[in-house]
Amino acid sequence: MKPATSPNTEQLIEEFSNTMRKHLREHTDGTNVNNTSLLTTDYLNHYSGMVMLLEQLPSTPEELIIYLLSWEPIGYEEHFETSGFRDGDLAITAYRHAPANIRSTFDTVIERLHEESIKALDIVRRHAEAGNTQGLSQTCEQSAPFLRELIDKASAIVNQQNHSQSSIDDHF
């Protein structure tokens, strides 16, 4: 249960958050951190790389399967802690202070992307182990476009563009 806070405390917290966001926005020029959302699409490169492997897998499964199956999802902050991204510290701090509604929407899409990626890779693994090249190709052809849609949706949130929920929801 959340402890009760006085209106004064809540106001102070809100003022502090707004001040932090303003300060962070002053440091986003010349970086890949979006000034409005305080997020960056560079994180999505981790997923895009996996989807590229998924798209290419049917043409050269023997060469790519090991790379694809060694891929694992990684959290936003962990990505920037380990990526060597020039503005990694800013990306992490900005993410922590991103507007709550934007971050919540983004995190929801990323959670879905994470889950769907794991599902697709599990199916790919089963087809590869069984030597089912037709099932492998079919899984890649069906999964890659859907995962791209989720990446595009997350990118639209970062860049504060309109995005459609219907095509994502229609998949299930």
Mean pLDDT over the full length of the chain: 87
Per domain, the residue ranges of the chain are 7-169
How many Å apart are CA 79 and CA 49, to the nearest integer? 13
Q: What is the pTM (predicted TM-score) of this model?
A: 0.82
Range 73-80 contact pairs with CB under 8 angstroms and sequence separation of 24 or more: 73/46, 73/47, 73/113, 73/114, 73/117, 73/118, 74/46, 76/43, 76/110, 79/43, 79/46, 80/42, 80/43
Q: What is the pLDDT of residues 22-60, one digit of tens each?
A: 767 787 788 889 999 999 999 999 999 999 999 999 998
Reference 33, options 162, 163, 159; nearest CA is 159
Q: How does residue 85 score in pLDDT terms, banded at 50, 70 and 90?
A: confident
Question: What tens digit of pLDDT does each residue of 112-169 get?
Answer: 999 999 999 999 999 999 999 999 999 999 999 999 999 999 999 999 875 443 333 4
Averaged pLDDT, 53-76: 92
**Interatomic CA distance for residues 156 and 41, integer angstroms:** 9
pLDDT at 24: 78
